[in-house]
Amino acid sequence: MHLPSQPALTSLLNRQDLWLGEQAATQLTGLSTGFAELTQHLPYWPAHGVCELYSQGLGCGELGLLHPLMRALCTEQPLAPIMLIAPPALPNALGLALLQLPPERFIWLNISSAREALWAMEQALHSGSCSLVLGWFAHLSLKAARRLQLAAEEGNSLGFCVLPLSQAGNQHPLPLKLALQADSSAIRLSILKRRGGWPVSDIALPNIAVPIWRKMALAATASPAMFTAPRDHQTRQQTGVDVSLARLNAANDHAQHEAQDG
């Protein structure tokens, strides 16, 4: 019987998609998640690797959940950027500053192709030059998840893939999988998979949703026509920034009408 060499065994034990039976039930390394509600179940984010975050929709708390992490990373030395790949809404420098997140620390990649977004995230993770990499995807294959995890291991990087809630049933070999769902009182977090522990559901996290983004998502669902651009020549020439601002204004108008009617 051939036994693996010590270097090969050490390399295997250092993989982020494997955990040892004697490991503690909670992650004890990495940066704090920053929420008292998570102290018992998820006190720290993984030091590196790829995590999946399933969201019910835009503004459902994706960035609110990661806000303490991003604030901590923005104060670390040496300075390293936070990369946003294909986010569903236009990043706003003033909004970041109000959240005490220096806008100059962020890199925004406006990519419409899922293949190019995957390639960009893989390269960013592999390079190890970013303190955090966030990528938004409609779908992630098993092969793609493995590639991203391998890139994060090689680059000693941390990344999050934000996916629709409908994708939560996949079998991706990643160390951490989380789901966010909204109800009338709070955003509720479910830990679907974590290293060394059982799944946990229904953790209430109030005040982590981005209100205007949530209003945009709800308004788009209630009145799709408000968010459908007319098919004239002028609109076809409109830039992505103009379209995003137009949708934001539509959401504000819709919210104001609701407030007046209510």
**Three-state helix/strand/coil letters over the chain:** CCCCCHHHHHHHHCCCCCCCCCCCCCCCCCCECCCHHHCCCCCECCCCEEEEEEECCCCCCHHHHHHHHHHHHHCCCCCCCEEEECCCCCCCHHHHHHCCCCHHHEEEECCCCHHHHHHHHHHHHHHCCCCEEEEECCCCCHHHHHHHHHHHHHHCCEEEEEEEHHHCCCCCCCCEEEEEEECCCCEEEEEEEECCECCEEEEEECCCCCHHHHHHHHHHHHCHHHHCCCCCHHHHCCCHHHHHHHHHHHHHHHHHHHHHHC
Q: What is the pLDDT along the chain (262 residues), one digit of tens a residue?
A: 555 666 766 676 666 555 555 444 444 567 899 999 998 899 999 989 999 999 988 778 888 999 999 999 998 878 899 999 999 888 889 888 888 899 999 999 999 899 999 999 999 999 999 999 999 999 999 999 999 999 999 999 999 999 999 998 888 989 899 999 887 777 899 999 988 778 898 898 877 875 545 555 555 556 655 544 443 433 333 344 444 444 445 545 554 555 455 4
Tell me the whole-structure pTM to 2 decimals. Answer: 0.71
